[in-house]
Amino acid sequence: MKEHVYTFRVQYPETDQMGTVHHANYVKYYETARWEFFRSLGIPYRELEDEGYMLPVTNMSFRFLKTTHYDALLTVKTSIKAFKGVRLRLEYKLYNEKQELINVAETELAFVKKGSWKPCAPPQHLVQAIEKYLDSVG
């Protein structure tokens, strides 16, 4: 499975009084990871919105395996699970510096028209970029 790799540091405001990362932040980490994945395909998410598309989350699930901490250097590995019609399903694996898997997540996203929020086919250049990406794995 081909994966996109995104590395970042845990920031102080993301901690809570348990002394770990508050679990709501994982949602944000994976969002940034997926838009960095899109950027690597040549299609920044910002351009998609400029073209009149939005890609809201319709389902998301997270499994917490290990705790982490402030200033940790974490890595998200993002892969495509399914891409059909208006839906895109992505999987994320989060690793700490020791390459231990600390979280696994999935999000399902739907392409909608900006403004109306009506489901719509993704733009053709994104479809092609994703297909080319998937083909490159073999």
Q: What does the binding site for a second copy look like in residue numbers (CB under 8 A)?
A: 11-13, 15-20, 22-25, 27-28, 31-32, 35, 44-46, 49, 54, 56-64, 67, 70-71, 117
Widest pairwise Cα distance in the chain: 46
Q: Is the dihedral of CA 27, 127, 39, 75 positive or negative?
A: positive
Q: Which is nearer to a second copy, 44 or 123 (CB)?
A: 44
Q: Which is nearer to a second copy, 1 or 18 (CB)?
A: 18
Contact 1, 79 (CB under 8 A): yes
Q: Is 135 a catalytic residue?
A: no
Nearest to 32 by CA among 86, 105, 130: 105
Rounded to the nearest whole angstrom, what is the least distance from the CB of residue 97 to a second copy in the complex? Answer: 13
Q: Which is nearer to a second copy, 15 or 40 (CB)?
A: 15
